[in-house]
Structures are given as C-alpha cells and as structure tokens.
Structure 1
Amino acid sequence: MDRDDGLTALDNIVTQFNTYEDFLDSQITTVDLYYLEDETLARQLVELGYRGTGEIVKREDFEARKAAIEIARLAERTQKKTLASAGKELHDNFLKALAMREEDNRNGKVSTVIFIRDKNSHGQEVSGYIDYAHRLKSEDFEAYFNGKKRLLPRTTDMRFSQVTTQLESPSRRNSMHMLFSLTTFPEGRLKHP
C-alpha cells in the first residue's frame, strides 16, 4: 500500500469517526469485552495493534489528519467568494454577459476570452485579449460591475496592443467587446458555442 492509499484510508477513518476513542470502540468486538471485562484495556490493545478488526492508526496521526481536514474545509469555505455581480442592477449588455459567465469562470467550468478595442484616458486606441478567469482571480470586479471602472486590456493580458498615433474616424469612436467561451466537459472535450 503506497502513501496515497494510506492517506485515503486514514481520511476515510477520520471522516467516519468524531473522536479517536470512537474509532477504537469500532474495532472492539463483544467477545473482546466479554473476556477482557474492561473497555479501557480493550482500547489500549486495539491502539497497540494486538486486537481489533481493522486498520492500526496512532492517536497522533488520527488527530493530525482530523485537524488538517478541518483546516482544509474552513479554507475552502472562505475561498467560496460571493460573485462580484451578485445583486447588481446591470444595464450594459456587456456587463450582463460577464455576469452570466462569472460563476462558471470562477469554478473552471468555462474559459472566456474577452476581446476589447477601446480608447484609454489619453485617447490612444488600446486592444487586447483578456482571460476572464485569470482576471477574476487576480483582481476585484466589484468596481467594473458597479460602473466605477472600465474593463481595459493590460500589458499582462494575453495580447495587448496600443496605437499611439491614429486618425479619428467615425467607425473607431465606439468601444468593441467580444466574448468567446470554451466549456470544458469532464471527458476533456471542449465546446465552443
């Protein structure tokens, strides 16, 4: 039995029993209690590995693994962040589309690439591709969904382009946003709607 199988067996034991004593009691048979006539002695024999019907687990290992599982459970609970778009009154179609995809991108069910062509505060044309899931992990989207901040590509995004000199034309005055979503299935297949 390798280390991973041992940890899996220990995890099963730890999650099944609340205390180490409950685990020891599960290993004691009625015949053991009949002949030993002492529950404490029967527990000690199981703990030492002389009696019992199953796995030998030391008290320290049981308690350490129980604590580790509890810490992991608490960490997972605190990581489950509420959605930045939750409860927001969104009027912009682009923000509505981002809100629809937010939870799936946070969970890794969908990967969304956003293409944006817009102008920055200096009047320069900026365009690029943004990995939505990465951006959700690296920054707070509350400001975007509240309308206090505009989503623009950064030099750290997938592809970034900034045009410093340009001619102003009517076709370039409006921002352009495009979303591409990739859904990952459990079998590893991708679906592009």
Structure 2
Amino acid sequence: MEEDQAAAAFDSSVTDFHTYEDFLDSQITSLDLYYLEDEELARQLVELGYRGSGSVLKREEFEARKAAAEAFRLSMRNHLNSGLTLASAGKELKDNFLRALAEREEANRSGKMTSIIFIRDQNSLGQEISGYIDYSHRLRSEDFEPYFSGKKRFLPKPTDLSFYNWKTQVSVSNTTANYQVIAENSTSLLFQNRRDRKMVNVDPKASPGDNSSRSPIQSDLYMHVVIFDHITRMKV
C-alpha cells in the first residue's frame, strides 16, 4: 500500500526489521559469529558498539524511530482517506530536508508527532544563525506552500523555541504550545513536551529521550539540520 511504502522511506533503518533483535542480527557479521560462537553475546557486543557492520541504535532509540514510522504510516493513511490537501502535496521536493519536512507534515498537523528542527545557516545579511524550531507550531502559524515550492527559505526566527545570531550574539528562547524550554542543563538545552511532560534532549552525545528519535539530515540547502521526532502519548 502507498502508506506502507511511505513509512518504509521514512526510516528504513528501523522499518526493515520487526524487532530490535532482528536489527542487531543485521549488524552481526559471519566473522563475528565464527570467533564468538554465541549469537546472544554477539548481539550484546553490537548493542555496546564493539561489533557490527553498521551504525548502532540503542533499544529506546530504535523503538522511538519505529513508533515514529508507524505514526507516519497511520497519518498517511488518514491523509489518503480524508483527501486533506497538505502544503507539500504535489510539490517536486529535490532536497532531503524538504522531503523530511513533507514526510512529517500530516503527523505534526494532527498532533500525533511534535518535531523539533535544529537548523544552522546564514540569514539574508550573511550572518550565521541557528535555532530549534517547533515544527508543529510553525505549521499552524504560517503558510508552508512557499517553503515547499522553494520560494522561501525555512530558517529559525527569534520567535522560535530558541534562536541565536552568531554575529550579534543575540540569544532568545520561547515557550510554545508544545514545548517548554529548560535551560538549567549546563551542557545542552532540554525541551519538555507540554502534553506528556517527556523531555527531549538535543545533546548529540545523549539519548534524545523517551518516545523520541534524532535524525541528522544531509541537505544541499542548509549548513546543518537535525530533526528530533517526539511521539506524543497522553497520561492516563
């Protein structure tokens, strides 16, 4: 089905595998098994990063990405069934970042997912700027057709979750409808989801947190892009 194909494209590093153990097995080489002679030990070493033929995700990050892919699959199904026209619909999206935005548009509009987007690039004055953007918030407050059509650049603003101008050293942070900025951490910003109270940790050396995943995006349009996807789960 179309939504299944879209979900597979969303994050093939997890959608190709039914379980975390299957994912670990895919990283084990025949040479590992030859020397270790123990499949479970080989899995443990892969999870710890000592063995394996590819990049390794921790169990919680694998499960968060799996949940994000499933949420995207369901959102695509709802979109196809509802006939809702998205800002990205029908656009020729040649850059990875624009495709990543399109993949997450419906889920962020519906509230199934609240993505935080980090962007570092230059503004119209040639000044380097960076910031964290609440994608869902921006979708509700702006017309995204110019972004997806390439008429306008998607950059952080002083009204976003955080904004920093490296030339003027202006630094701003703001609470949005989805996130509260927690600046008490000495090494990195934390963003607390205001719906389920879960923390999203944007430190690249740390786990992004429960129900969250971190996805660096290679883009020809921007210097540095990372997307943090958080699957919202209400307390019961």
Q: TM-score, normalised by structure 1?
A: 0.50
More helix by share: 1
Higher relative contact order (CA 8 A, sep 6+): 2
